[in-house]
Homo-oligomer: A and B are copies of this chain.
């Protein structure tokens, strides 16, 4: 057995605390010290929005173990024999002498810590966009427990006031949900033309935006925030290129940037994303210095490229790998797939792998299919529709990505796809997956299996899909394409696309009524979710119609609801 090492960790959050605990389990004889500049350690930062909404009742709940013990300095010392120094900021790393210089923030006293192995888990800080008024009181980020405490105080001070959230990524949306649940008026502004920019394709993100609208959260996309305006040093309004929003508070959630300054000053390399560069063992270019968590970039398993996607789940996995390597067990971190999930009031949205847009940007030859279906047996109470969009590499048929959104169980389908993709699965490898079936949990053919079957149908030329967005474009551009809605008369009357080139011929009467359809025009077959539309496409093709398409996801995926009657 190797001699007992002296390990120093900078940062007592997910990665640092996990690494420390694992080291002490592997080698109770190692000495482990963590420096952290904050007051709170090892807290559940991802839980902050749920504390704000009141779902998580107590501030301390974000600090407790599963058995109710607060994770403070005493907890780490008494239960794990780990020394944590809070309120201590590392100021420099002397790599030659293996010594970290630090300062006690309360007293100003300079400190020094020797190490044999050093772990940098310095995390990330919120990006602050250069918006005039960003320094007004009432403008918050939402990354630390101090942020959480301050915003919680605002909520206690006045229910039902107005908040503006800047940034439509998952933290922004979680913040919007929290404030809406507190009955605040909430507006969300996003610079890109959709929510979840870079994470979801437009039409899947549009489903979430529509849901936020139903839940009275106003969303402005393609928004240019010009300034935060206020009086007496406190924010009162947010001014965009289009509009002015009243704002008692503003939450800025426009992304994170890695805290690399300490590492850079010590000559440690950053990667192409700007985050710290590490090898698979999570070593920096100094083999005695490891780094993990939100300060490093990761290899994206699907694209093979480096990416910066900081997440608590990844940080925990890093912690284990780092501990293993420090303790002489060889371990590598395999990389990430960009998996995420986000609750947005009654909706859930998530993805794994890459979107159709990302595949195109990377120059990959890929196709996408969208499918809507129920998450449980459709007759089981509480069953809900989920929309899935699969990205598949053409030729190899390798799965590249799955996006999902809806009121139903999205997490399960994302996780199954993430597992399949991690193992390099093709559509054919997983089309017949033996997934858990009982009516309270899934349809007999899970909606993900249906999506894979549809991908197979499309690749075989059986289904000729057109996205609802493209179909809408064809209608609007007036090139003569026709929408054939094959739902029942009753369904049609209840809700349909209000356009002169939309024809309702219920599927059951289609064979007799083929004469009513023009053979020279493109016919777009459509129903509620997509299956009957596909059946109609096959009937028309068999009858010799030359250009027939199925509208993917049917009316459920029709973008925007403004043209429905």
Contacts and interface: CB of A to CB of B under 8 A. Distances in A.
A433 B422 contact: yes
Interface in A48-92: 50, 55-56, 61-62, 64, 66-67, 69, 78-81
Given A47-B377, A380-B55, A436 B415 contact: yes
Residue of A313, A329, A424 with most partner-chain B CB within 10 A: A313
A339 interface: yes
Nearest to A353: B434
> In the complex this chain forms, how many copies of it are found?
2
Chain A interface, DSSP helix/strand/loop, else mixed? mixed
Contacts of A409: 411-412
A14 B377 CA distance: 14
A507 interface: yes
B44 A436 contact: no
Residue of A339, A415, A423 with most partner-chain B CB within 10 A: A415
Contacts of A334: 432
Nearest to A543: B28
Contacts of A373: 66
Contact of A419 (B313, B420, B442): B420
A320 interface: yes
A196 interface: no
Nearest to A422: B433
A325 interface: no
B25 A462 contact: yes
A82 B56 CA distance: 55
A149 interface: no
B80 A535 contact: yes
Interface in A73-122: 78-81
A208 to B, nearest CB: 14
A430 interface: yes
B422 A535 contact: no
A432 B434 CA distance: 23
19 contacts: A14-B444, A24-B535, A26-B462, A55-B380, A61-B379, A66-B373, A66-B374, A66-B529, A78-B509, A80-B535, A313-B434, A313-B437, A313-B445, A316-B444, A339-B437, A341-B437, A409-B411, A412-B412, A422-B429
